[in-house]
């Protein structure tokens, strides 16, 4: 009986001790996407990516225009085909068809390469910014004594009530007004 009482008392002390310790942990939240997009580096990166995408778009448009021009030539050539020039025009149309296929392949390859280049450039530009924001979040968490910082921007937090929004502190740490 005495052992049962000691066991129950020990369990109660452990439970209350755990509750006391967990009550001492500070929890904060942040919209990391908002902070990330507010950095001047992000705005500069966004402009660089926009310029690159426009450049690749112009290349693509030029290739499409070349294809359309060749296609129109082939269609015109087909309209002028007669029994008298059938053999000659058929050879020319076959060559034009092969050229159109080559242009289509170049367009597809150009699109693939452009997507890869834009993706790599995006990674190269945004990764250092993400690291800088994460470092600032970690520094604020340590300075303010937070045990947890929850990111409410990615939808992984379904509910939060209270806690402290540390977005302003992180923005201040990054020099963002």
* Chain segment 134-169, per-residue pLDDT in tens: 999 989 988 988 888 888 888 666 455 567 888 888
Two structure tokens written together for 95: 């060559």
DSSP category for residue 146: E
Query: What is the rounded distance in angstroms from the CA atom of residue 142 to the CA atom of residue 166?
Result: 12
* Total-model pTM: 0.68
In terms of pLDDT, which residue wins out, 13 or 88? 88
Q: Give me the residues paired with residue 150 across strands.
A: 29
Domain extents in the chain: 2-174
* Chain segment 68-90, per-residue pLDDT in tens: 999 999 898 888 888 888 888 88
* Chain segment 40-77, per-residue pLDDT in tens: 999 999 999 999 999 999 999 999 999 999 999 989 88
Query: What is the rounded distance in angstroms from the CA atom of residue 147 to the CA atom of residue 23?
Result: 11
């Amino acid at each position: 009986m005495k052992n049962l009482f000691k066991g129950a008392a020990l369990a109660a002390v452990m439970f209350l001790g755990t509750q006391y310790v967990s009550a001492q942990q500070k929890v904060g939240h942040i919209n990391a996407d908002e902070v990330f997009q507010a950095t001047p580096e992000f705005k500069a990166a966004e402009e660089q990516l926009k310029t690159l995408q426009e450049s690749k778009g112009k290349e693509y448009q030029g290739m499409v225009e070349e294809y359309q021009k060749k296609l129109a030539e082939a269609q015109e050539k087909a309209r002028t085909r007669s029994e008298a020039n059938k053999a000659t025009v058929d050879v020319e149309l076959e060559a034009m068809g092969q050229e159109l296929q080559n242009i289509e392949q170049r367009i597809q390859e150009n699109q693939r390469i452009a997507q890869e280049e834009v993706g790599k450039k995006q990674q190269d530009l945004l990764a250092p910014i993400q690291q800088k924001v994460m470092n600032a979040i970690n520094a604020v968490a340590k300075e303010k004594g937070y045990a947890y910082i929850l990111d409410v921007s990615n939808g992984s937090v379904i509910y939060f009530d209270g806690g402290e929004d540390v977005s302003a502190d992180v923005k201040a740490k990054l020099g963002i007004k």
